[in-house]
Amino acid sequence: MKFCSNCAQPVALRQPEGDHLPRYVCDTCGTVHYQNPKLVVGCVPEYEGRILLCKRAIEPRLGYWTIPAGFMENGETTQDGARRESFEEALAEVEIGSLLAVVHVLHADQVHVMFRARLLEPRFGPSPESLEVQLYAEADVPWHDIAFRSVDFALRRYFEDRRGGVENHHFSAIDLRAPRA
């Protein structure tokens, strides 16, 4: 952020009075531009025991496999967003189920919220965001080619819980920031 989105003057990074963190502040119009973590919402769609994965058609991690997921939009719930992403990325109609995982991706300022889901019909396919979409049995999941650590975490918990006959939710944090000097 270099300029104020309200008045177009340059912003400064400094701690406002009474605050505890530096913020982008406009000294011309007084606006404080807060920056907060973004929510990424997704799901693990299951159909007759197999789960739906998408091979990414876009960066980052083009060519690697992931679950349908993406940035949550204003005006929707986390479940709405997970369902929307399933359709956008995999042309899949899903029914969202229980909460599976909340992963704090600290180096990216993101919170990934992932649900269990049921694929309603065995209909799905590639989209502008996915090169391939495929149902995988647990034994065939391409673990070495999973796009993101948060998705690896969620998938492992998914199968563990399924083997145990439970639907728990799991918190985790991933931090790839450089250590402070």
Does 8 sit near a copy of itself (CB under 8 A)?
yes
Q: Is 60 in the site for a copy of itself (CB under 8 A)?
A: no
Tell me how far, at minimum, the Cβ of 72 lies from a copy of itself, in Å: 6
Nearest approach in angstroms of CB 148 to a copy of itself is 17
Q: C-alpha 4: how far from its chain's center?
A: 28
Beta-strand relationship, 38-47 and 110-119: parallel
DSSP state of 112: E
Put residue 48 in one of left, alpha, beta given phi > 0 → left and psi -120 to 50 → alpha: left
Q: How far is the CB of 136 from a copy of itself (least distance, A)?
A: 28
In angstroms, rounded to a whole number, what is the distance separating the alpha carbons of residues 28 and 33? 13
Per-position x/- string for 37-56, each x denoting binding to a copy of itself as judged by CB under 8 A, each - no binding: xxx-----------------
d(C-alpha 78, C-alpha 107), whole Å? 22
The binding site for a copy of itself (CB under 8 A) comprises 1-11, 18, 20-21, 33-39, 71-79, 88, 99, 102, 104, 106, 109, 111, 128, 169, 171, 173, 177
